[in-house]
Structure 1
């Protein structure tokens, strides 16, 4: 079956002398793996440069439900993200987020709302000038809504500790070690209730942002058993922290 769909590139792997295996999150087919023959050759009809992390594409694909590897008939870049490719902070962030997305999104499950969220977030990041250092934290918190473990409730005088296992605020220190202290819980709530336009007005110190990043990654690892370690975190930390 031939299918037209939009897609967001999450990962690429060299295959043979001139080809690529590419994981693309598509609007209509969910996460799919594609064999792109000859993409790394000089005469490639579909160039390897199309498959950089989080590039947004218009695709015409051959789709067979039982195949592990699909094929691409046509591909064009939908919206060039110029500042992301030229800004070290943004390109590092995109590398980090693409690694999380490819591990967090189940294969073959389409979710138009999540696709729209990721697409609109990338457009905002490309235009963003201030508050870039908060974007990945904001993105991961909002993404958890679509993945099914967005934090519930809000902190208060009797709910000061965020329980990472339960995904909600608790009145007393939990009996296990996976919780956030009062200050970090308050910062998590501030971030989770922020809108994308609020990021430039946030004023957390580097240490606070780093603590939030570690807390959010632990939260993801608890709720997504196959996530594992995120290798690009080290590069992200060097750039932002």
Structure 2
């Protein structure tokens, strides 16, 4: 077997044996990749969700699982793992990624986006809008950017992915501020301030949009936790 190296963002881990783990990463070169890390549980290593690691591994062409030889943190993130709210957001984001990044093969733009957002989360102080910022950016990178047919659209057709003035069976009424927030966030501008209630509406509408376009997208548990901790609404 040939030794390989890659950068990976940890999105899932589970026990494989009494001493080993199966780790799933989104990697820079190979996209979604899973590995056995032998002895990881006995070594009691600090392995964090959304940690960005330098990986050295072996992988047979016929095997779905690689074998990690060594892994080291590539970036010294600290706030993410010491701030309880940021840790909860890490689990939420990892849950989203497990359900959206299902195709093998590297995508440099998605990896760059994830790396930048993780680094932003580490230093960001106001976390209220971060879930919305992340989800709008991710859905754009996945190729599901909605279109705005009219400047003053009153409905969001979730099936067609269109903000429009025409009501349809799959459309939801959106007030002016919610439409404006979603539009600016989809365009990558986050400086404008919106009411917290508007952010709540925007987030729920966006999750409904994900559920239509991403097969089997269900984040009820992790979403409920961030609602309780960041938003305190049911």
TM value normalised by structure 2: 0.90
Match 2:179 to one of 174, 179, 185? 185
1:203 aligns with 2:194: yes
Would the aligned equivalents of 2:148 and 2:164 in 1 still touch at CA under 8 Å?
A: no
1:152 aligns with 2:147: yes
Q: 1:110 maps to what in 2?
A: 106
How many residues in Structure 1 have an aligned counterpart in Structure 2?
229
Shift of 1:231: 2.0
Where 2:166 maps in the other structure, the secondary structure is coil
Shift of 1:5: 0.8
Shift of 1:86: 1.4
Deviations 1:169-214 (A, max 9, x none): 112111x144342343333223323435x2xx52322x32222221
Shift of 1:230: 3.8
Change in 2 beyond 3 A, CA 1:194/1:114: closer
Shift of 1:233: 0.9
Would the aligned equivalents of 1:163 and 1:169 in 2 still touch at CA under 8 Å?
A: yes
Q: 2:216 maps to what in 1?
A: 226
Q: 1:34 maps to what in 2?
A: 35
Where 1:221 maps in the other structure, the secondary structure is helix
Q: Which runs of 4+ in 1 moved over 6 A?
A: none
Match 2:55 to one of 59, 70, 73? 59
Q: 1:235 maps to what in 2?
A: 225
Shift of 1:125: 1.4
Q: 1:214 maps to what in 2?
A: 204
Consecutive unaligned residues of structure 2, counting only runs of 5 or more, are: none
Would the aligned equivalents of 1:89 and 1:239 in 2 still touch at CA under 8 Å?
A: yes
1:140 aligns with 2:130: no
Change in 2 beyond 3 A, CA 1:195/1:61: farther
TM value normalised by structure 1: 0.88
Would the aligned equivalents of 1:161 and 1:171 in 2 still touch at CA under 8 Å?
A: yes
Consecutive unaligned residues of structure 1, counting only runs of 5 or more, are: none
Q: Distance in 2 between matches of 1:136 and 1:99?
A: 12
Where 2:148 maps in the other structure, the secondary structure is coil
Shift of 1:154: 5.8
